[in-house]
């Protein structure tokens, strides 16, 4: 099997990357729990993916296959979650607004829970943080998810730092274990949202 070419994306690649991410996350459990209304969710998934793409792209840390079917939005070591102004400019209000008042408010408040959980596992240690990883449904199961994490693993290993991520569907835990992550925790967020926390130590 040929190894897919993986490229580092910029803001110019936003449209194609967000299109793939929106397909991948259309029925993602985080969004279905937060926003059970399918019509509303369909309107919200694009702004949600665009927000996370933009804040990762500002850090030069979005990786994708050449056809953009698989996209990994990440934070390199030392990155802070954006301040209020940068978050607003990246489009947080658009994502929250499309989710609707109650879901949007819950979405905004969940940020501090994600932060606190990550701090519990890797706080004080430089680390890579995978904030969004998605593969277009028709291209899943062909090694593209593994491929786009390749540059992150290589950089993390060179720097001797871990890679951290969280996922909502339990089914993803087996996939990430296969990719070299260890399950380090599980937290139940307000509203019964499960959060599985995984960490890959450097090789």
Ligand X SMILES: CC(C)(COP(=O)(O)OP(=O)(O)OC[C@H]1O[C@@H](n2cnc3c(N)ncnc32)[C@H](O)[C@@H]1OP(=O)(O)O)[C@@H](O)C(=O)NCCC(=O)NCCS
What residues line the site for ligand X (CB under 6 A)?
24-25, 28, 70, 133-135, 140-146, 165, 167, 169, 172, 174-175, 178-179
β-bridge mates for residue 65, sequence order = 6
Q: Smallest gap, in angstroms, from Cβ of residue 28 to ligand X?
A: 5
Q: Which is nearer to ligand X, 93 or 179 (CB)?
A: 179
Q: List, in sequence order, every residue forming a beta bridge with 175; answer none if it has no partner.
A: none
Task: Kindly state the smallest distance separating residue 179's Cβ from ligand X, in Å.
Answer: 6
Q: In the 8-state DSSP scheme, what is residue 169?
A: S
Shortest Å distance, C-beta 195 to ligand X: 10
Token duo for residue 126: 């430089």
Q: What residue number has its CB nearest to ligand X?
A: 145
CB count within 10 Å of CB 29 equals 16
Q: Give the separation between CA 87 and CA 155, rounded to whole angstroms.
A: 26
- Spatial distance between the Cα atoms of 49 and 73, rounded to a whole number of angstroms: 10
Q: Which residues contact 42 (CB under 8 A, 6 or more apart)?
A: 26
State which residue, 97 or 187, has the beta carbon closest to ligand X.
Answer: 187
End-to-end Cα separation, the chain, in angstroms: 24
Cβ of residue 50: shortest distance to ligand X, in angstroms?
16
CB-based contacts of 64: which residues, under 8 Å, 6+ apart? 6, 7, 9, 13, 17, 20, 70, 71, 72, 148
Closest to ligand X by CB, 74 vs 79, is: 74
Cβ-based nearer residue to ligand X, 45 or 161:
45
Nearer to ligand X, 124 or 188 (CB): 188
d(CA 10, CA 68): 12
Inter-residue contact 198 to 181 (CB < 8 Å)? yes
Question: Between 93 and 195, whose beta carbon lies closer to ligand X?
Answer: 195
Q: How far is the CB of 168 from ligand X (least distance, A)?
A: 7
């Amino acid at each position: 099997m040929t190894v897919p070419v993986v490229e580092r994306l910029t803001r110019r690649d936003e449209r194609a990357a967000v299109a793939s991410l929106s397909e991948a996350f259309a029925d993602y459990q985080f969004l279905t729990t937060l926003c059970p209304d399918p019509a509303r969710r369909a309107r919200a998934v694009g702004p949600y993916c665009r927000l996370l793409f933009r804040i990762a792209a500002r850090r030069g840390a979005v990786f994708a296959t050449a056809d953009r079917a698989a996209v990994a939005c990440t934070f390199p070591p030392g990155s802070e979650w954006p301040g209020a102004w940068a978050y607003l400019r990246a489009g947080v209000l658009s994502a929250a607004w499309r989710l609707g008042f109650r879901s949007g408010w819950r979405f905004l408040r969940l940020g501090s829970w994600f932060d606190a959980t990550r701090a519990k596992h890797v706080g004080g240690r430089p680390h890579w943080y995978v904030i969004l990883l998605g593969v277009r449904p028709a291209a899943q199961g062909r090694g593209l998810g593994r491929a786009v994490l390749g540059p992150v693993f290589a950089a993390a290993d060179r720097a001797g730092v871990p890679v951290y991520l969280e996922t909502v569907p339990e089914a993803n835990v087996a996939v990430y274990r296969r990719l070299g992550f260890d399950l380090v925790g599980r937290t139940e967020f307000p509203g019964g949202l499960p959060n599985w926390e995984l960490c890959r130590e450097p090789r």
